[in-house]
Chain A
Amino acid sequence: MRRGGIAALALLAGLAWVGSAGAQIRIGVAGPITGSNATFGVQLKEGAEQAVADINAKGGVLGQKLVLEVGDDACDPKQAVSVANALVERGVKAVIGHFCSSSSIPASKVYTEEGVLQISPASTNPAYTDHGSWNTFRVCGRDDQQGAVAGKYIAEHFKGAKVAVLHDNSAYGKGLADETLKAMNAAGMKEALYSAYVPGERDYSALVSRLKEAGITVIYLGGYQNEAGLIIRQAKEQGMKVTLIGGDALVTKEFWDITGPTGEATLMTFPPDPRTRATAAPVVAEFKAKKIDPEGYVLYTYAAIQIWAAAAEKVHSTDPRKVAEAMKADGPWPTVLGDIGFDKKGDVTRADYVFYVWHNGSYSQM
């Protein structure tokens, strides 16, 4: 018992010593390390670990080493809040995360209250920065930027086509469809039909016949892969010759599983593959050497830390408020994703979306 007490004391002392050893800067990375979105959480973690290692190898930030704290929110909004509190407790200056918009938004309230900087590599819901404050940033696009790219593309490439704009009434789907419609109208193209559909159903044949009657040749769909797959499948089964255009939700194998060959030539907007960028080549090589494929959001996370470190160097401080101001005012920042600048809300200034196309069961950038 007595020995145990001494051991515990020694351990505590040890911890205290580690805590005060040298000057260190703690930053957090938070995402779904477990759960059904764990693939993405691991991407965030791998990107952050590599970025911290690279920065430390070059002498750290302001002469101090970075220490990474990992938080697991499992994409659960409630857990995201407790993870946020735990990270704040550990004294992080900035948090890279979270992944799901539904986690990033509630967590941002905690970070705002506690004065911690938050940079999400993946949350695209506009509300994240619209409702956020001085401390919320993201290095990915927004759903409405995606709509702007899609609307412009439709107006330019499908001149004279009869376009139907459909959505599922969800925050993501309707937001995306409305932004696309706005951009399309601004480019001088009028939609032939605008309609909501009921998500979760299986039978969209009545809607499809309606599209057929209206002579629709292009469907823009704001919604998820299941309904999109069923609608295009039923449209082709009814003999329609129509092109489906959608958002990032269609960039999943599940879409093709439902459509089979009827999904051929479906288009969707998605960020360009960052691995192919020249600026990313050295970092990609480092990942490859560790047998990690820097897919998805790995490089986005890496870039978020690069920006934070550069801004902290610039203002000679890790004070979150000063760093946040610098991030907005002194951009664009050179990163593995190319130059990234932020607007007043903390969104990236460059709409980073390109078109992908489904062909024969796989998708590729156009």
Chain B
Amino acid sequence: MAYALQQLINGVTLGMIYGLIAVGYTMVYGIIGMINFAHGDVFMIGAFVSLVSLLGLAALGVSAVPLALGLTLLGAVAISALYGWAIERLAYRPLRGSFRLAPLISAIGMSIALENYVQVVQGARVKPLAPVVPGGLTLMTEGSFAVQLGWMQVVIVVVTLAVLALFTWLVTKTPLGRAMRACEQDLKMAALLGIDTDRTISLTFVIGAALAAVAGLLFLLYYGSIDFFVGFIAGVKAFTAAVLGGVGSLPGAVLGGLLIGLIETIWSAYFSVQYKDVAAFSILAVALIFMPTGLLGRADVEKV
């Protein structure tokens, strides 16, 4: 019982991180129907900016942890948002009228470019960060097995759920959200009705990148180790989560992330650690056969 609970905590934390990155994928897909493969790398940039900022603040003598984290969050969000805006402007907007695969290829190119850029600038070695938010509490003890819940794990779950709530509100209740949904339904029609589609798409990318930065900071704080390639692996998992949850659906992205995190963890807990990815992706494949639009996705109505 205690063991299962501990593994549940592990799985939920991992799943929430996947979910948080997946929200960014889903938002961009929802609005322009394109998979932004560079999203994982913006997440990586967010983590790197956070690391540089934390180390810089420590060197400047900012010893209050909440202050340092707050400043770091602001810096990471601002710089990543700038990256998100620039990527859309450089790599996607010029290709918007082009054939369907063009922006996808451009996205993959952008991803490789960002990875190599960080590799050259920051070096290929793993960058560590000593624990910033250590400690936690013991939930229960069964025999010699104590179920441990880290503060960082609590933070991750709370932040992900808060972000999910905030963005659901943003998409459903604000003028910007209405514009985004209009662009999602029909880009040309939205433009005809007076929506500045370029601006709406730009803002979506900026918001997605800001989310990636939040995820990057949490990832850095929780695991304490990043490198230039970290966005690729996390990105693939998060993209899978978005597909499983139904691309375009915000709660679906978090739900999908949660499921993948839990499948991986439970498989590692009771079966072989080595085959957890095989298990997760097999279940994904089966799920998509029976639910092609994902768990919470809507069927795409072909417009004639």
Interface residues of A (CB under 8 A from B): 36, 169, 195-198, 200-203, 205-207, 209-210, 212-213, 215, 226, 229-230, 233, 237-239, 254, 257-258, 260, 262
Query: Measured between alpha carbons, how far is A229 from B131 in the docked complex, in Å?
Result: 12
Please choose the segment from B63-71, B145-153, B185-193, B199-207 that sits at the chain A interface, where 4 or more of its residues have CB less than 8 A away: B145-153
Query: Are A206 and B128 CB-contacts (below 8 A) given A196-B274, A237-B136, A258-B224?
Result: no
**Is B3 a contact of A226 with CB atoms below 8 Å?**
no
Determine if A254 and B128 form an interchain contact, defined as CB atoms under 8 angstroms apart.
Answer: yes
Interface pair B145/A213, CB less than 8 Å apart = yes
Stretch from B36-44, B96-104, B160-168, B262-270 contacting the other chain: B262-270
Q: Distance in Å from the Cβ of A36 to the closest Cβ of chain B?
A: 8
Cβ A206 vs Cβ B10 within 8 A: yes
Chain A residues lying within 8 Å of B130, measured Cβ to Cβ, are 257-258, 260
Q: How many residues of B are counted as interface, with CB atoms below 8 angstroms from the partner's CB atoms?
A: 36
Answer yes or no: B126 CB below 8 A from chain A CBs: yes
Interchain nearest-CB distance for B4 vs A (Å): 10
Are B3 and A213 in contact, CB atoms less than 8 angstroms apart?
yes
Q: A198-B273, A254-B126 are in contact. Are A210 and B136 (CB under 8 A)?
A: no
CA distance A198 to B225 in the complex (A): 16
Establish whether residues A201 and B269, one from each chain, have CB atoms under 8 Å apart when the complex forms.
no
Can you give 30 contacting A-B residue pairs, CB < 8 Å? Answer: A36-B124, A196-B274, A198-B276, A200-B229, A200-B233, A201-B233, A202-B223, A202-B225, A205-B14, A206-B10, A206-B11, A206-B264, A207-B273, A209-B3, A209-B269, A212-B6, A212-B145, A213-B3, A213-B6, A213-B145, A226-B126, A229-B225, A230-B224, A237-B131, A238-B6, A239-B138, A257-B128, A258-B128, A260-B130, A260-B224
Which of A197, A206, A257 lies in contact with B269, CB distance below 8 A? A206
The answer to the question of B184 belonging to the interface, with a C-beta cut-off of 8 Å to chain A, is no
Does B233 contact A237, Cβ atoms closer than 8 Å? Answer: no
Q: Does B7 contact A (CB under 8 A)?
A: yes
Bound: A203/B276 CA distance, A: 12
Contacts of B276 in A (CB 8 A): 198, 206
Q: Is B85 an interface residue (CB 8 A)?
A: no
Contacts of B136 in A (CB 8 A): 237
A-facing residues in B144-182 (Cβ within 8 Å): 144-146, 148, 150
